[in-house]
Chains A and B, each alone.
Chain A
Amino acid sequence: MFACIFVPNFPVAAVFRAEPELRAQAVAVFEGKPPLEKVFAVNESAGRVGIAPGMTKAQAELCSELTLHPRSRLQEASAHAALLDCAQSFSPRVEDAALDTALVDLAGMESLFGSLPEIAHAMSQRIAGLGLEANVAVASNPDAAALAGRGFSGVTVIPQGKEGESLGSLPVEVLFAGWIEGEREGKKKEDERRKNSERLLATLERWGIRTLHSLAALPEVALSERLGQEGLRLRQLARGAAFRTLVPVETPAVFEEGVELEHPIVLLEPLAFLLNRLLEQICARLASRALNTQELRLTLELESLSSRNQEAQISNQQFCRTLRLPLPMLDPKLFLKLLQLDLSAHPPGAPILKIHLTAEAARPRSAQGGLFLPPSPEPEKLELTLARIASLVGESRVGSLELLDTYRAEGFRMKRFVPGTYSDGTVSETVRQKAAAEEKSAVTALRMFRPPLRATVTLENGEPARVLCSKKKEVQGAVLWKAGPWRSSGDWWEREAWSRDEWDIALQTADGAGLFRLMHDLLGGSWFVEGSYD
């Protein structure tokens, strides 16, 4: 058995998916170059007020209740991808029949999803969850399912052997329903196909054939003599007896959503509303395919300042931000907050014309928290917390540490904080070994002064005898005790060569003796207090 998911009035449905608040209004989608724009598709409300496809934009504008929306190939492509995602969430064998139609092979699916009506209803619900209203039809062959999908609204299940009966009441126009192929076929081929359809339809009209039942009843030989092979094909379709093999497609796991704006956005707040919508759509699509994402790429097309000032040719520039997550996640609210924080730290700097969001699909993480594992922060919460802290203190000033293989002072770098237990769901082996080992005695710690404090040092016999540090009043006075010098050098083969002597010194402070590390830069000749032992 085969199922057809058909989205009626696809250009309008794509607009409604992107802007759900328009559903209650009369909407007409127009296309073409100004001033020759024509209405391309209308919704039911617009049809009731007298707007029809083919009217000029100027004519349509006379209707005050009407909302005019330009046709967006980007939105249609996203809606089509959502349609295929929905189909592929049920079966791997999916035919991409048209922009508005997806055919699904249901062989063997009953054991997974239940009976055929249950599958059809589940499909209808899932496509509605993705923001599209679609007809779902189930029949024994792909063409019968496609005809039923285009002809009957809602969910239709045609039992095997009753295709002719069920399809009989449909008008013959269903056979030539405008399959919106978009840019898939060339314009010339599309026009040729349309003309051929119109010619056949006119012939059938002249013969008084208005339903599929009448067409199916025509004698085969006589029809062949008059309309040729095309006539026989139409008769087979009308009888629901046209058998063909499904041509499955393998859709790449690319999840893209975009929106083109009529008026440029300047503020981040309205941008957040649009991003929220795009993120919800992407997350719904990912969820339908049981996937998460680990990387989000936001591309904003900006209006260049020069083009605005001079009103010359618009030369748009792109602004890209990439959000990399430590783990696969699927939370549109979290993504929105992270994007907001990122954009407030790195504002686009120019009005936004177009928003494009891409998610790299990733398998959901399989590890779950164990009862006996030590507590660790929730990845989603932690990511948001880190982003908020980064916006407070700076991106490079929050994270975990990684020591570098060098003896140079400050030989470390900051990296992204990802607690070890996330990676495999268990405590790492090194931690276990350390836990098993007995606790060591305390190790004296050094507190760093960043940057090191420049000091004036009085030497006696080549050893520091008195230290004066103007920036920190505590660090001054006679040296009570000293150890050193400890000489080290490195990177002499590079431009940033270093050579230093270190002294551990004790100075009298107000609270007692203070222990400090004194450093003599042998290349520069300056003395610095690098830190205090604490």
Chain B
Amino acid sequence: MSSAVLSTSAARGRPFVFDDEEVAEVCPQPSGAEVAEARPPQRAVFSAGAYAKTYKDARLAGVTPASRLAARPAPEMVSSGIVAMDALTGGLPRGCLTEICGPASSGRTTLLLAALAAVTRRGECCAVVDASDALDPQSAAAAGVELSRLLWVRCGENSPEKSLEQLLRATDLLLESGGFGMIALDLGDLPPQAARRIPLTTWFRYRHAVEHTSTVLLAIERQSIAGSCSSLLIKLGSRGNRIKESADSRLLKPTHAQLLTELEITAELVRSRQERKPVRSAEITFACKTAWAG
């Protein structure tokens, strides 16, 4: 039994191209996983629908629609800038929404700056839409972010409601503009009840806008608010940050001075679209040094 392979030209409105010989090798009654490897799922869906409808050919009856594929194409993963975090999550997925949530002083901004630094190291541009105007340029520079590649949108001059509105509109515009390696939404200082006012449809719109692009959409917040729209959800621990002081603080002059040198951050992988359900929650602990600790 042979069926037709449709070229991508079909999607552009050009005539379909059929190649019986090739198809006979590629999909003889394919199982889902094989089809996923053999060709992009969008093409499979289009082939089955368009061709069967037009030509009523039963040869495509065995092609599995993309929505029913057992193995879906995985998004490209990029480094988060922290090796331990990459080991936990596999990196940050492009074209997806990633949520990093946790209470104050849990390391969310540290993670954000590390990710931004990784993006700018790759030569890409990134944008931070800052709901509460909280970004510290000195910390960003210390984390290795190339500041000339960072677009900073400072919302929050007026009320939290106004700043939230500005944040959503600015994010829409940046997603529409395209070309950014990462767009980060900093909702870290917004009270959870204010952040929850963002309608779920907005997150769906963002997810749709970022899909099929090479942009990493990252949101940092106190609690997860995007629901199932996020492909990756990392929860940073509030188990108690272990503060490390300098060991040789006694040698420092004046002797009363202590030094905050390191914080320990606990991260838990709550949800990852790359993993099949049920969620296999994993946890790591890593240290982040202060800029002056050397």
Contact = CB atoms under 8 A, between A and B. Distances in A.
Interface string B172-184: 0110111111000
B241 interface: yes
A269 B152 CA distance: 31
Interface stretch (A83-91, A186-194, A345-353, A427-435): A427-435
Given A441-B289, A445-B143, A450 B263 contact: no
A397 B123 contact: no
9 contacts: A389-B173, A401-B150, A431-B120, A442-B110, A449-B134, A512-B105, A515-B105, A533-B263, A534-B110
Given A431-B146, A435-B121, A483 B258 contact: yes
Given A434-B144, A441-B288, A443-B291, A513 B123 contact: no
Interface stretch (B19-27, B61-69, B76-84, B194-202): B76-84
Given A388-B173, A435-B122, A445-B113, A512 B287 contact: no
A434 B121 contact: yes
Nearest to A426: B123
Given A398-B151, A445-B112, A486 B136 contact: no
B188 A534 contact: yes
Contact of A431 (B83, B121, B142, B153): B121
A403 B177 contact: no
B88 interface: no
A393 B154 contact: yes
B110 A441 contact: no
Contact of A532 (B104, B133, B147, B173): B104
Contacts of B189: 447
A514 to B, nearest CB: 5
A381 B147 contact: no
B239 interface: yes
B169 interface: yes
B118 interface: yes
Given A402-B147, A445-B143, A513-B240, A374 B124 contact: yes
Interface residues of B, number: 80
Interface residues of A, number: 70
A219 interface: no
Contacts of B135: 447-448
A321 interface: no
Contacts of A440: 117, 144
Contacts of B113: 442-443, 445
A312 interface: no
B179 A439 contact: no
B147 A401 contact: yes
Interface in B35-63: none
A341 to B, nearest CB: 12
Interface stretch (A175-183, A202-210, A326-334, A411-419): A411-419
A420 interface: yes
10 pairs of A and B residues whose beta carbons are closest in the complex:
A511-B103, A377-B179, A442-B288, A385-B177, A445-B109, A427-B123, A483-B258, A534-B109, A374-B123, A397-B154
Contact of A417 (B79, B143, B151, B240): B151
Contacts of B139: 443-446
Interface in B263-293: 263, 265, 286-291
